[in-house]
Amino acid sequence: MTGRVNHAWVDERAAPLYVWRLPASPSTAEIEEALHAIQRWVKTLDGPYGWINDPRGLRVRVLATHRALLGEHLRVVGPEALRWCAGMGTIVSSPTIRGVGTAVGWITPYTFPTKWCGSLAEAWPWVRERLEERGVHGVPERPPGA
């Protein structure tokens, strides 16, 4: 079983399927704190997990500093994500961005199952199925509160 992320932006009610919702206007320090919480959590993993990114509420401009933080974060969590991430769904409203994300995966395959989705209703069952393929059962069919 995986441990707790212990960060306000991560919904852990259906662990080991986690939903990361970014707020509208996080500061760079808040983003860094969230990424560090995830990095600490990743070091505690001992089984598969599913992850859904939901940045749709984000209303700030993504700066080069933010991209650098995310790049470093991916470098830090990469080995554990490769081992334990059953699947990651990223929710984006734009069909164009979803298409770009999918095409990037065709050119350079993602290191774990990845799907670009238009809604939580689309992402949830897809990530849940990836968990079941890895032998994880009992994740609710629908997100908590749905």
Average pLDDT over residues 49-59: 94
From the CB of residue 26, how many other CB atoms can be counted at a distance below 10 Å? 18
Give all domains of the chain, ordered by start, each with its CATH number. 10-133 (3.30.750)
pLDDT in tens, 9-33: 999 999 999 999 999 999 999 999 9
Instruction: Give Cα separations from 111 to 52, 100, 120 (angstroms).
Output: 16, 17, 22
pLDDT in tens, 103-136: 888 888 888 899 999 999 999 999 999 999 999 9
pLDDT confidence tier of residue 1, bands split at 50, 70 and 90: low
pLDDT in tens, 75-111: 899 899 999 999 999 999 988 888 888 888 888 888 8
pLDDT confidence tier of residue 146, bands split at 50, 70 and 90: confident
Instruction: Tell me the pTM.
Output: 0.91
Q: What share of the chain is helix, strand, coil (3-state, %, to 5)?
A: 45, 20, 40
